[in-house]
């Protein structure tokens, strides 16, 4: 009985993280990476892996109506302790589908303001989406997003088609150890960010009031 109570108490204290697959591709190894992380870190946090492939094309509607798919994702982000975004690299940048999702998630809704974010990425080549990750950091720093990105950290999974076994587990134990260290750092980062929340309302108001039209 006591053990069950302790287990329940531990689950209450666990961080809940949204893992965003940064592509609409059905075959992406970024999905495999986030799914592996959800399993591997299940004792430390709940990682809910979410898709962006059903979010409609951003068209800046004059009535500011945000599609229900984007609103649902925004609600999940708002309620989460942190977000992990795993992005591939297309033409030295993040995918069009990820940029599309982030456009909706900063159009009259601001779930990323002060939200701790960890960036990972998998790619078929050698560099492991390094330039896309740098691009994503720039986007998340935009006035309408204002995310808190974990500094000095990036998980770059190159040659990702060969990186996983048949069960979807990372084969290279050095990479597993690196990912474990980064995730431990992210846990600490989320805890620190919870303490640095005194300006949250002001930051959110600044995001709401920002307009590119007024800053020519």
Q: What is the mean pLDDT of the chain?
A: 92
pLDDT digits (tens, 9 = 90+) for 14-70: 999 999 999 999 999 999 999 999 999 999 999 999 999 999 999 999 999 999 999
pLDDT-based confidence at residue 187 (cuts at 50, 70, 90): very high
pLDDT-based confidence at residue 5 (cuts at 50, 70, 90): low
Global pTM exceeds 0.85? yes
Find the mean pLDDT for residues 152-162.
92
Per the CB < 8 A criterion, the answer to whether 86 and 20 are in contact is: yes
Provide the percentage of residues in the chain whose pLDDT is more than 70.
Answer: 93
pLDDT digits (tens, 9 = 90+) for 117-150: 999 999 998 877 999 999 999 999 999 999 999 9
pLDDT at 97: 97
Find the mean pLDDT for residues 178-199.
95
- Dihedral sign computed on CA atoms, order 194, 51, 135, 67: negative
**Domains of the chain from N-terminus onward:** 15-196 (3.40.50.360)
The CA dihedral of 216, 149, 12, 71, to the nearest 10 degrees, is 30
């Amino acid at each position: 009985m006591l053990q069950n109570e302790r287990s329940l108490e531990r689950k209450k204290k666990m961080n809940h993280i949204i893992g965003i697959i940064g592509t609409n591709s059905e075959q992406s190894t970024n999905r495999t990476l986030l799914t592996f992380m959800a399993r591997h870190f299940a004792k430390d946090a709940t990682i809910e892996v979410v898709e962006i492939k059903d979010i409609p094309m951003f068209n800046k509607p004059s009535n500011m109506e945000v599609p229900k798919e984007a609103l649902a994702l925004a609600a999940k982000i708002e309620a989460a302790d942190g977000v992990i975004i795993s992005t591939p690299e297309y033409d030295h940048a993040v995918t069009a589908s990820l940029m599309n999702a982030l456009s909706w998630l900063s159009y009259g809704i601001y779930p990323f303001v002060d939200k701790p974010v960890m960036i990972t990425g998998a790619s078929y080549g050698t560099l492991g989406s390094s330039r896309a990750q740098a691009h994503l950091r720039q986007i998340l720093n935009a006035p309408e997003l204002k995310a808190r990105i974990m500094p000095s950290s990036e998980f770059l999974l190159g040659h990702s088609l060969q990186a996983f076994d048949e069960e979807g587990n990372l084969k290279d134990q050095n990479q597993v150890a690196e990912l474990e260290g980064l995730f431990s750092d992210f846990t600490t980062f989320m805890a620190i960010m919870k303490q640095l929340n005194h300006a949250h309302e002001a930051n959110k108001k600044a995001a709401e009031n920002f307009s590119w039209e007024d800053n020519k």
